[in-house]
Amino acid sequence: MTQRDRALLFARRGTLVTAVMLVALAGVYVRALLFTPIERFQGPAQKIFYVHAPAAWSALLAFAVTGVLSILYLWLRDRRLDLAGAASAEVGVAFSVIMLTTGPIWGKPIWGTWWTWDARLTSTLFIFLLFVGYIVLRGALVDPEMRARYSAVIGIMGLVLVPFIHFTVFLFRTLHPDPILMKPDKPSLPGDMLLTLLMSFGVFTVLYVGFLAQRYALGLLEDLRDEEAAGHAVS
Amino acid sequence: MGEMLRAAMAIAVKDLAVEWRTKTALVSSLAFAVLVLAVLFFARDPTAVSAVDVAPGALWVTFTFAAMIGLNRAFLMERENRALDGILLAPVPRTALFLGKVAANLAFVAAVEVVSVPLFVLFYDVPLWDRLPALALVIGTATFAFVVVGTLLSSMVVRTRFSEIMLPLLLLPFLVPPVVGAVQVTARILAGRPLSEAAGWLRLLLAFDIVFFAISTLLFTATLDE
């Protein structure tokens, strides 16, 4: 299978997955708005939770995948690992924008403030900015091999930086709610809400995969185009 | 190991000698540091906020900004005439190149800091002289942190277009832990609190130093091979 065929296959499958998941997302929202009980203290504002938390999850998953692919790239030096890592970083930035816009919209009515410098807000903001830098850096490098190595270095550094930023802001104190899902005893969310949330998590995760596949396909095609252009220039 | 350190030292001495002959980067970083210190003094409402309250922040903004405009210099001068290829041809480990650049950058930033601190005391009228050892400790650990990361990043960005804007963009996220920590510790020191009160921050700074020194040294070779 040529690189073009593989790219087109990824593009087709990615588009299909994305389309199905966007329909599923609409379904999740119908469920969240109509069939999930309204939260007692926060009222309807809490509904944004079902987008905000899963988007944050997908963003951090995407950045973690970029970090892991960066390590693998420096080890195996396979160009596809670099392209996939870059694709994941871009998708992560997109999900971060969702997280960073829905967060303040939710925060204003509930906390009384758009923004607070708590541990999770701050670390996600800076990791978002770091990956914006990652994408800008890629744009400023012409040689694909050099671009791959440099991006991998930033990807790995980012992976190491997150816990440090988190701990830094943790030494300040925090408004953000404590984890309600991943904690030692059972989740402190009523069954209906929990189910909606988990469905949304599932949809967002597969949506990430769909976006990733499409962006990766695009990366493969760009790579091919650059190679052909370079070939023409030589001959 | 001894050979590596000797090679690193040779590179550092070479860098500093080149810098000493022109002094362009040193003088501009120094003048820049003085400017930032002076400008930040006015970045407050004097009837509501006393100079001492903004002093720790002003000091660290000055240090990081002044360092940032100096950090690119180490690898920029190797770009001219492809001087870096010459160094890479020399039979020394590549890690030595990184260590040498870090050492030269540390000396460079330290020079800027040694001049800035007395001016800082002067401008902001902070009682400091008896607390100098504690301040030197925090300046040392935090400076090491951002020089190590900055040297690694500058080795990459000098080979991009727009390297002047690229370094701050990539470096600033990495400065959050060391600079926030340093400001917190400095504030405690200036307030005359015992250093033990900032033990958590000092541990954070130290951990950052160790982890990022290790990972930057490891990753540096990946920025070179062609």
Residue boundaries of the structural domains of chain A: 3-36+46-177+194-223
Burial tier of B23 (Cβ tally within 10 Å: 0-12, 13-18, 19+): exposed
Minimal CA separation from A128 to chain B, in Å? 9
Please say whether the beta carbons of B152 and B213 come within 8 A.
Answer: no
Would you call A141 and B160 a contact, using CB atoms and an 8 Å cutoff?
yes
User: Is A11:A218 a contact under the CB 8 Å cutoff?
Assistant: yes
Separation of alpha carbons B111 and B104, rounded Å: 11
Tens digits of pLDDT across chain A (235 residues)? 788 888 999 999 999 999 999 999 999 888 988 888 887 778 777 888 888 989 999 999 999 999 999 999 999 999 999 999 999 999 999 999 999 999 888 888 888 888 887 777 888 899 999 999 999 999 999 888 999 999 999 999 999 998 888 888 777 654 555 555 555 555 667 778 888 888 888 999 999 999 999 999 999 998 888 888 887 766 5
* Residue A39, beta-bridge partner list: A43
Q: Measured between alpha carbons, how far is B167 from B171 in angstroms, rounded to an integer? A: 6
Chain A hits for B180, Cβ within 8 Å: 168-169
Looking at beta carbons, which residues of chain B come within 8 Å of A165? 173, 176-177
Helix axes A79-111, A119-139, angle to 10 degrees: 140
Residue B151 CA to residue B102 CA, distance in Å, equals: 6
Nearest to B58 by CA among B110, B126, B160: B126
Q: What angle do CA A122, A165, B69 make, to 5 degrees?
A: 95
Q: Would you call B191 helix, strand, or coil by DSSP?
A: coil
DSSP-assigned states of every residue in B32-87: HHHHHHHHHHTSS-TTTS-HHHHHHHHHHHHHHHHHHHHHTHHHHHHHGGGHHHHH
Q: Of B153, B79, B77, B66, give the one whose Cα is nearest residue B108.
A: B66
Number of domains forming the structure of chain B: 1
Residues of chain B scoring pLDDT < 70: 225-226
Residue pair A71/A24 in contact by the 8 Å Cβ criterion: no
Nearest by CB: B174 against A149, A161, A169: A161
CA nearest to A55, candidates A232, A234, A201, A228? A201
Give the pLDDT confidence score for residue A67 in this predicted structure.
94
Contact A154 B170 (CB under 8 A): yes
Q: Which of A103, A154, A153 is nearest to A124 (CA)?
A: A103
Mutate to test the interface with A, among B151, B176, B208 (most CBs of A within 10 A): B176
Determine the straight-line distance between the first and last CA of chain A, rounded to whole angstroms. 25
Tell me how far apart the alpha carbons of residues B183 and A219 are, in angstroms, rounded to a whole number. Answer: 42
Nearest neighbour of B176 by CB, restricted to A126, A150, A153: A126
User: Is A129 close to B180, i.e. CB distance below 8 A?
Assistant: no
Cα separations in angstroms, B219 against A139, A153, A164, B149: 21, 6, 18, 11
Helix (H, G, I), strand (E, B) or coil at A174: coil
Amino acid identity, position A179: P
> Three-state DSSP class for A120?
helix
**Alpha-carbon gap, residue B112 to B37, rounded angstroms:** 12
| Structural domain of B138 | 2-224
**Amino acid (1-letter code) at residue B11:** I
Alpha carbon separation from B123 to A33, B38, B78, B84, B152 (Å, rounded): 59, 7, 37, 41, 33
Q: Which of A123, A127, A157 to mutate to test the interface with B (most CBs of B within 10 A)?
A: A157
Nearest-CB residue to A153 (from B162, B223, B226)? B223
Q: Is the ipTM of this complex over 0.95?
A: no
Instruction: For residue A168, give the nearest of B156, B176, B216 by CB distance.
Output: B176
